[in-house]
A and B are shown apart, each in its own frame.
Chain A
Amino acid sequence: MINRRQLLLGSAAGFVSAGLSGRSAGTQTAQAPATNSSSQNAATDRPYTPVVTPNGRTLPYKMRDGVKEFHLIAEEVDHEFAEGTRIKAWGYNGSTPGPTLEAVEGDRVRIFVTNRLKEPTTVHWHGLILPFGMDGVAGLTQKAIPPGESWVYEFTLKQHGTHMYHPHADEMLQMAMGMMGMFIIHPKQQDDANHVDRDFALLLHNWAIHPGTYRPDPSVMTDFDLWTINSKVFPAIAPLLAQNGERVRVRVGNLSMYNHPMHMHGVQFDVTGSDGGRWPRGQWRKEVTEIVGVGQTRDLEFTAVAGDWPLHCHMSHHTMNAMGHELPVTTGVDQSELAREIRQMIPGYMAMGENGMSAHQEHIDAGHMRGPQNTLAMMGGRGPYGPMEMGGMFTLIKVRDELDGDNDPGWFEPPQGTQAYRVNSVPDDLPV
């Protein structure tokens, strides 16, 4: 049963949610920046804090006869991981990941799926409790949706939690191409004690985009080139914005082929939920790193503290962009003489790595080392004090006393006396 109040709210949300989603829409459908402070939330009289999908958006729905109707379009999309790297990916409604679906426990949803690919597809509602025939497994629960056809999935949401959707037809390839999205179900009973001011949805993935190519290689199993949050790499991943003291939830889903220990600086977060829904408080645990396994989701909650705090996978190769994995180790090798001789034969050769790889970003940023087409340098990004030497699954949680809407607040300036500093000498009575 749907009461009148829910119906009204739903209708309103159906048309407003477009304006409330995706802060950094990028190349996707133009939208007003989402604001998701509690006051804004209260203004819409929504029973939950809408999810923000950095670099993405939430899919609007239309309420029809008490059913929330969504339309997902499976199609090829032009996708940019960061400036300088574009590919032909597959996704939904013009993007990878597809737009986030957001609903409330108890909702009846009717999801139209149009297949604009040239091969059959399905949508599997990962982790949702639903009738067997709605599970979206090609050949098992249904005939796969042929190219050009539209099919409907319809079921009632019997749970809440952080969930995902992805194809279950030619799954290995279609997921490698970027077909996936988040499906957030808010609890029907909003618990004020568990209220969050900001709610973010991050979907982890890995991509094999060989240097100089423009399409993912689905055959790769381990040596991926790009590690993404919402199909973006640092420094193109939008930062997560919050105000000091706000309660923040970061929902992380993983449809890549690796487990990712997601690490947050500056706070101990509570792990408060998963695809199993929101956990009872007694099950929460404090962590600074939480492994999000393949096919799993985790909700991480914390109270925001001012700063520009990194949030990243702790597999250090996952915070790099494209790099070779079978390079000889040049650390500790003075190539200067040899490099001169090599340059005689191969003009442009530069010796690298004698003292580590840090110099690499300096070379790249200086612009005198050309790389392959459509390929991001291994490391990049500059902070207020120099190169950050990062890539891949790395972004920042920017917390300020007061935010100016969704505008990037710039770099955090540590208050006087709270920043590391240089000394001229070290007391010589310190044990080493």
Chain B
Amino acid sequence: MKAMQFSKVKGDKNQHKVVVYALSTCVWCKMTKQYLKDNGVEYEYIDVDLLNEEDKQKIRQEIQNKSGSLSYPTTIIDNKVVVTGFRKDLLKEALGI
């Protein structure tokens, strides 16, 4: 089976590790991705609704281990700051943008 793939989006601001757990159908997830991109933040994302069952399960573990909730988008910065939903204010603060 193919390994689960995070898509990477390049940016000049790459001092933080930014991971977005998203749904391909969710407009707020799209806005989060767009917001990061517009601000030149490097990030990776995964659209959880497009994964197979096994990978979904892995992602769930991953999110919950970092005490994220199962709602989307969930953005995890440097493996510790968890931002639930499209929250410009919180992203701004965490990323210094």
- To the question of whether A and B form a pair in one complex, the answer is no
Q: A residues touching B (Cβ–Cβ < 8 Å)? A: none
